Structure 1
Amino acid sequence: MRLSGPVPSRITVHRVLIRHGLVDPTPRRRRREDYRRWERGRPMELWQMDIVGGIQLADGGEAKVVTGVDDHSRFCVIAAVVRRATGRAVCLAFAQALQQFGVPEEVLTDNGKQFTARFGRGGGEVMFDRICRENGITHRLTKPRSPTTTGKVERFHQTLQRELLDDVEVWADPEEAQAAIDVFRREYNSERPHQSLGMAFPADRFTAQPAEEQIPLRPALATTIPAPRKPLLVPPPASPSAAGSATVAAAPLAIGDDVGLAVEVTRLVPASGNLTVCRQQFWLSPTRSGLPVTLWADTTVVHLLIDGVRLKTVPSRLTPTHLRQLLADDGQPAGPPPITTGTLQAGAPIEVERLVNATGLISLAGRQHPVGYHFAGQRVTVRLDRGLMQITADGVLLRSLPNPLTPAEAASIRDARPAGPPPTPNPEPVRVERRVSCRGALVIAGQRIHVGIAHAGATLTVEAADTTFRVHDGDQLLTEVPRTTVKPIARFKVRKPEPARPTAPAAKPQSPVI
């Protein structure tokens, strides 16, 4: 059937469907009344912070303003002009406000990299998060692309832009802009009524934290920069002419600050478990997510510790510039290292820590070496002593294998250290699993052990001692035979059973033809 006349438009069809109740009308944009207004019940309960630009300088640059507003009173607590809105500049402005007004209970910010590492490449904890954590401040973040959540500080930006910044096209320097913003801030807090407050002044509703309730701020690194390290003074080498003299009188020689520079810094393990510091990554596992880890770092080695317990030691890729940057941010001069790596001597035993991967392999000198599936996921210490490679954990010998590395390859391991005393043998026998064949036998290290056809297809546990093999079915000892093989045990778990082959469906019986 063909319709005559013009075809109705899409919006007409939509209105007809709404009129008959066939679809629910949904506005394309949120209405003003759909937004839910909220306000904290008292001052110093929540601060909203943000960063705004728009200050053009005479030298062609653009300065920014770090702002903060108390949620209850709309009192401006922060209005600091900075040339670059770096994390340190934001933290300095934040710390100054904490010292002036006290510590709020909560701080609300967006997801900028100055405030959080939520969407950063390395994750972890930024300096702003650390200041909040160490001063007991709850740091709350908005949803991505939700500026209305921090609407009060955004509204302050609009007033600042309209009543001050738009009147001046170019500022001579940040100091001039800061002086003008300070005057505007005093008028905003004390002389300008606010419609959202019933035409009251923000200063009438704001009350700073009492001085007797204020606690010393932590960390002090937010407001101070560590003093430069004193140069190390060492005597110069003696001249050949004075080799035979009893004493050598010479002036001390100053060495640069980079010699012996070591830094300790604390970071939170991100949810991924992969911590990044100055573009060097440290794998710590998602199971340690949220834990504070301390890094002892210099230009040669990095030690990672949690609660004073060393987790691992890795080669350092940090330069003296990186160390000075960490020291200026939130690091501190490091004390003695957790372990002494010492100087490696050619041919001497060395040891190194490694994490066994899911397939039972460890990485040494750029190659993968098998140590056993049953050690998967375990952190072990590898001791290389001439032709022997010993796998230890907590000083107990787990396994001995032939050394797969040449002396040159062993010397190329950067995170190796001189080995301690030889490990003690493991008092417990090695336990392996074997599946009994259809003829009632199993094979371990090339030795065939008959346990009986009654156990065909069962998975049994074998205790491998130095002189015997003990076969168990659960808690029941089935047999104990002398160990006649000298081959090492290469497999500790049973192989996965082969998938059952599908059987052809049985043919349906045919009815006889009558």
Structure 2
Amino acid sequence: MNSHENARLTARGRARLVARMGEIGVNAAAAESGVSVRTAYKWRARFEREGDAGLGDRSSRPHRVRSALSAAQQDRVLALRQDRRPIRDIAEALGCPYATVRRCIVRHGLSRLPSVEVRPPVVRYEHERPGEMLHLDTKKLGRIEKLGHRITGNPRDHTRGAGWEVLHLAVDDHSRLAYTEVLADERKDTTTGFLKRALAWFAEHSVTTRRIMTDNGMAYRSQPFADALRQQGIRHIFTKPYTPRTNGKAERFVQTALREWAYAYAYRHSSERTEHLARWQHHYNHHRRHSALGYQPPISRIPLNNVSNLNT
């Protein structure tokens, strides 16, 4: 075994230490070799017991190790764990130490049991052309009147009654091209107005909308919203109740917007945050790389011959 890189003594140095102890005494020999008196006594005692072999390096492996579980015991542990038994109960049932059973369970990846409810399979889809499906959604945002306690760290910097404003968004299923507005509320007239402006914006980008998917919010179920879709000949699809993943592309956009725009900077007022939204939307549509698009921005999936002036 190789000596430690910072070791003061090798096997030859230990032999010399033992020899010098007989010549000049323990204290002087220890000082000469640069070790403690206790270390010098240790090497002399080992030499007296084992001779020259006792002066060599030894393995750091302990002389005794805790008893390991047999193959049959391990199978029993895993079977009980898969029956959702607590680790301490398994240890008591087998008469084994808790730590030993726990190491076995961790080693086999069963320290965290899966949820009792089986998750439904992930269904991913993407329409073939822009406009075949638009995903609409909203997200409430707290109004900002000054820097709050999350920025300053002072719990007194808290504004009560500032109210809310709402981010309205529309995301194209194929290209992920997005249109957004921050509005005062999410009532039916407000939401219907956003819908009309969103359809016009997508039309300017040569995207003809054929279907729209929304959740079951009251504004989306309202008559003005339905009339606006009927006038445009657009089919309305609702998500499954209490299942946000059905409208997953909109939900994903919300998380991206919160992380990269709404909560990315220390805004001093809501108006400052709203002003920044247009710049961030342009960055998202024209420059931000999207993993689902082969790390290209959403505008790359819009025919360039129709939007050549928008790709800057």
Deviation of 1:13 after TM superposition, in Å, equals 9.4
Distance in structure 1 (CA, Å) of the matches to 2:279 and 2:81: 59
Q: 2:123 aligns with which of 36, 56, 62?
A: 36
The CA deviation string for residues 247-276 of structure 1, in whole angstroms up to 9 with x for no partner, is xxxxxxxxxxxxxxxxxxxxxxxxxxxxxx
Q: C-alpha displacement at 1:55, in angstroms?
A: 3.8
Could you tell me how far apart the structure 2 residues matched to 1:167 and 1:27 are? 33
Instruction: Tell me how large the CA RMSD over aligned residues is.
Output: 3.0
Counterpart for residue 172 of structure 1 = 269
- Structure 2 length normalisation: TM-score? 0.53
Give the deviation of 1:132 after TM superposition: 0.6
| Counterparts of 1:87 and 1:96, CA distance in 2 | 14
Q: Give the structure-1-normalised TM-score.
A: 0.33
Contact 1:189 1:201 in 2 (8 A): yes
Shift of residue 104 of structure 1?
Answer: 0.5
Q: Tell me the alpha carbon deviations over residues 450-491 of structure 1, each in whole angstroms, 9 at most, x when there is no partner.
A: xxxxxxxxxxxxxxxxxxxxxxxxxxxxxxxxxxxxxxxxxx
> Helix, strand or coil: the match of 1:44?
coil
Mapping of residues 321-332 of structure 1, within 5 Å:
none
Compared with structure 1, are the counterparts of its residues 112 and 169 closer, same or farther at alpha carbon in structure 2 (3 Å cutoff)? Answer: farther
Superposed CA deviations along residues 80-101 of structure 1, whole A, max 9, x for unmatched, are: 1011111111111111122222
Map 1:360-379; keep pairs closer than 5 Å. none
Q: How many percent of aligned residue pairs carry the same amino acid?
A: 27
Please give the alpha-carbon distance, in whole angstroms, between the structure 1 residues aligned to 2:258 and 2:268. Answer: 14
Matched residue, 1:99: 200
For the Cα contact (< 8 Å) 2:267–2:273, is it kept in 1? no
Matches of 2:218 and 2:168, distance apart in 1:
14
Q: 1:207 to 1:29 in 2, by over 3 A?
A: farther
Q: Which residue of 2 aligns with 1:197?
A: 293
* Alignment counterpart, residue 62 of structure 1, candidates 145, 164, 180: 164
How many Å separate the matches in 2 of 1:64 and 1:207?
A: 31
Query: Are the aligned partners of 1:56 and 1:169 in contact in 2 as well (CA < 8 Å)?
Result: no
The CA deviation at 1:31 is 4.8
State the Cα distance separating 1:199 from its structure 2 match. 0.4
- Paired residue secondary structure (1:164): helix
Question: In the alignment, does 2:225 pair up with 1:128?
Answer: yes
SS in 1 for 2:263: helix
Deviation at 1:191, TM superposition (A): 0.6
Q: Is structure 2 residue 291 aligned with structure 1 residue 186?
A: no
Q: Distance in 2 between matches of 1:138 and 1:46?
A: 9
Which residue is 2:221 aligned to? 116
Please tell me the residue identity of whatever aligns with 2:201: Q
CA distance in 2 between counterparts of 1:90 and 1:153 reads 16
CA distance in 2 between partners of 1:47 and 1:85 (Å): 18
Give the letter for the 1:46 counterpart.
Answer: M
Give the conservation status (yes or no) of the 8 Å contact 1:47–1:107.
yes
Residue 106 (structure 1) shift: 0.1
In structure 2, C-alpha distance between the alignment counterparts of 1:187 and 1:108, rounded to whole Å? 25
The correspondence of residues 121-270 of structure 1 with structure 2, limited to 5 A, is: 126-168=223-265, 172-173=269-270, 175-207=271-303
Match of 2:87 in 1: none
Query: Residues 142 and 162 of structure 2 are in contact (CA less than 8 Å); yes or no, is this contact kept in structure 1?
Result: no
- SS of 1:139 mapped into structure 2: strand
How many residues in Structure 1 have an aligned counterpart in Structure 2? Answer: 183
Deviation at 1:170, TM superposition (A): 5.3
Which residue does the alignment assign to 1:83? 184
Aligned partner of 1:12 among 72, 80, 105 = 80
Within 2, Cα distance between the matches of 1:61 and 1:168?
Answer: 20
Structure that is richer in strand per residue:
1
Q: What is the deviation of 1:57? A: 2.6
Listed one character per residue, the Cα deviations across residues 420-471 of structure 1 (whole Å, up to 9, x for unaligned) are xxxxxxxxxxxxxxxxxxxxxxxxxxxxxxxxxxxxxxxxxxxxxxxxxxxx
CA contact (8 A) 2:137 2:250 kept: yes
Query: Given that residues 134 and 172 in structure 2 are in contact (C-alpha distance below 8 angstroms), is that contact kept between their aligned partners in structure 1?
Result: yes
Q: Secondary structure at the match of 2:134?
A: strand
Aligned-pair CA distance for 1:168: 4.1
Q: 2:132 aligns with which of 42, 45, 59?
A: 45
The alignment partner of 2:123 has SS state of coil
> What secondary structure does 1:200 align onto?
coil
Contact map agreement 2:211 2:237 (CA 8 A) in 1 = yes
8 Å contact kept, 1:55–1:171: no
Counterpart CA distance in 2 for 1:114 and 1:101 is 21
Supply the distance in 2 between the matched residues of 1:183 and 1:204 (Cα, whole angstroms): 18
Q: Which has the higher contact order (CA 8 A, sep 6+)?
A: 2
Amino acid aligned to 1:105: R
CA distance in 2, matches of 1:206, 1:153: 19
CA distance in 2, matches of 1:36, 1:171: 41
After TM superposition, give the deviation of residue 54 of structure 1 in Å: 2.2
Take 2:268 and 2:141, find their aligned partners in 1: how far apart are those partners?
A: 11
Q: In structure 1, list runs of 5 or more residues that go unmatched.
A: 1-7, 17-25, 118-125, 212-514
Structure 1 residues 93 and 13, CA, compared in 2 at 3 Å: closer, same or farther? Answer: closer
Q: Distance in 2 between matches of 1:94 and 1:207?
A: 23
Unmatched segments (≥5 aa) in structure 2:
1-75, 85-113, 146-160, 308-312
The letter for the 1-side match of 2:261 is: L
Once the two structures are superposed, what CA deviation does each residue of 1:365-399 show, in whole Å capped at 9, x if it has no partner?
A: xxxxxxxxxxxxxxxxxxxxxxxxxxxxxxxxxxx
